[in-house]
Chain A
Amino acid sequence: MAAYVAKRLLSLIPVLFVVSVAIFLIIHITPGDPASSILGMEATEEEIARLNAELGLDRPIAEQYVRWVAGLFRGDLGDSIFMRMPVSQAIAEHIGPTLSLALLAELFALVLAIPFGVLAAWKRGSLADYALMGATLLGMAVPSFLLGLLLMLAFGVKLGWLPVAGYKPLSAGLAEHLKFLILPAVSLGAIQAALIARMTRASVLDILNLPFVRTARSKGLGEAKVVGKHALRNALLPILTVIGQTFGTLVTGAVVVESIFNIPGLGQLILNSIERRDYAVIQGVVLIVTLIYVAINLIVDLLYGAVDPRVRLDKR
């Protein structure tokens, strides 16, 4: 197991190196130099030169990269030119709503997807199976920001059951917090629910064909026990993988959904920073979300390896 963990961690090094180079270079592909686009048309030569020096953009590109990465190791993501505060502080102030939204969306997806996925596998070929699988196809074709708009229109504007947009932190009370997050969470979680339901169905179907399920049935166990206990438990591993992967996707998706519902999370931070050409913040947010994404995938892989020896012994 230790060897597996070490191997998995080592394989991250080249990935993180490429990620850091790519994110670092993004600011440098800007047409013209960043300083003049930050300052606008009226800026004088001296002002541009001064800002370039302040941002360290007048140094050789390799040196800039090394400085940036060295900063990252100290937890220093640079400073926001517009907000006049460290990028790490800006991210810390905005990450709460994003994580809250992603967690709630995951919860919604699981509660909806696993029972329906098991049901579809159990009643394979039935009307219910076709209806559910049709619904998942439709679910995967509706982008989250569109579903968000439609839900907002239906439940916020027409019916008036839920707030149209906005956000209340957890400190305002759980009910209040959830009331504002229900529509965003449902719109974000729907695609994941469709994916997890399909995965659950496929993986339970695999198990239902195995001999031990036949044994369980032939010894007289009820269908509920066979499917719910024997089949589902053995089908959980692939399902867990999808859950892990989708949580990463949810954090990213939250960035888009937030902008619809005016939730002050990382999405709002990055979009506002684009308008202000605050490149350090853009880089910081992309980096942090990527790290969350990579870390979750790593944890899923390690758990998988811990549970299933075949994974960690696989020589690849």
Chain B
Amino acid sequence: MDTLNPDAYESVRRALSRERRRIRLARIRRNAGLQAGAVLFLFFVLMALAGPFLVSHDPAEMKVTDRLLPPSAEHWLGTDEFGRDLLARIVYGSRVSIGTGLSVALAASAAGLVIGLYASYYKTLDHILMRICDGLYAIPGILLAIALMAALGASVTNVIVALSVVYTPGIARIVRSAALSVRGQTFIEALEVQGAGATRIIWRHIMPNTLSPLIVQATFVFAEAIISEAALSFLGVGIPAPDPSWGNILQAGKLVIFKAWWMVVFPGIAIVLTVLGLNLLGDGLRDHLDPRLSGNRR
């Protein structure tokens, strides 16, 4: 074997890695749900990022003479009850709604990861943390969020805080169960015998094995957080006017439902497509990262 010429070795190695990449891409290409979800979701993310350059109207500019105009060439999606351009408000609202969803997904994932990992490693801590999680989990999510918002007051930051509290226990449970299945394996025992510290074992050896289920769950939390934010803002305890969010545009739309269908239909479409995209993405990621987890395919 040592007679093998280094160049030939290098080219074989490169061919192998090319092949591996090809297989991975082929698996993604066969996963139609993953692709459709990614495309749908990216569309809205791009809209949120590029928004200010896309729309010619100021989302806050009021014009009394333009109140509740139906969709037209000037206002593609019509105007709201203050004569503000609806397209501009939905585009700017996507920054708030998607931004809130993302923040909640990140915050709940980080907190859930830490709680789940440490609970899986220390038995006493596990009992305490899991009882707290069980308790919080028993309170219906939207009600807990409503109550927290009632206490904290309506603002973007408080919506993120309240929803993160709501979604952390679920993520902690999933991380914990993934971590527990690794915890009992021989290589962890071997590491302990070798004298590896707890921090090192938890973060270097257990944590990477919890990432797949965590990423999948975070995607679903992202979607649910967008719905919950919209629900809270719709109920008037979420993101306060005049900042646009998809939820509070709908809240305003409800009041003028007899006169302006576009105020309900267009923000509604934005919510549904974003959430659908994230759900497809989550399902697709689950199939891709761990086919065994897939529930509906057999």
Contact = CB atoms under 8 A, between A and B. Distances in A.
Interface in B212-249: 223, 227, 230-231, 234-237
A141 B276 contact: yes
Interface residues of B, number: 47
Interface in A1-51: 14-19, 21-23, 26-27, 29-31
A95 interface: no
Interface stretch (A52-60, A81-89, A288-296): A288-296
B231 A256 contact: yes
B171 interface: no
A141 B146 contact: no
Nearest to A267: B235
B135 A22 contact: yes
Interface of B: 131-132, 134-136, 138-144, 146-153, 223, 227, 230-231, 234-237, 250, 253-254, 257-258, 261, 264-265, 268, 271-273, 275-276, 279-280, 295-296, 298
Interface residues of A, number: 59
Contact of A290 (B138, B152, B231, B264): B138
A150 B254 CA distance: 10
Contacts of A142: 268, 272
**Chain A interface, >50% SS class:** helix
A70 to B, nearest CB: 20
Interface stretch (A108-116, A181-189, A225-233, A247-255): A247-255
Interface in A139-170: 140-143, 145-146, 149-150, 152-153, 157-158, 164
B254 A274 contact: no
B143 A255 contact: yes
A260 B140 contact: no
Contact of B138 (A198, A202, A271, A294): A294
The 10 lowest CB-CB distance pairs between A and B, nearest first, are A18-B135, A252-B140, A141-B276, A274-B150, A141-B275, A14-B131, A143-B227, A30-B151, A290-B139, A146-B268
A206 to B, nearest CB: 8
B258 to A, nearest CB: 6
B147 A15 contact: no
A164 B234 CA distance: 18
A235 interface: no
Contact of B143 (A16, A157, A206, A289): A289
A146 B148 contact: no
A271 B236 contact: yes
Contacts of A145: 230-231, 234, 250
A45 B234 CA distance: 36
A17 B149 CA distance: 22
B268 A149 contact: yes
Given A18-B135, A138-B276, A149 B153 contact: no
A23 B165 CA distance: 13
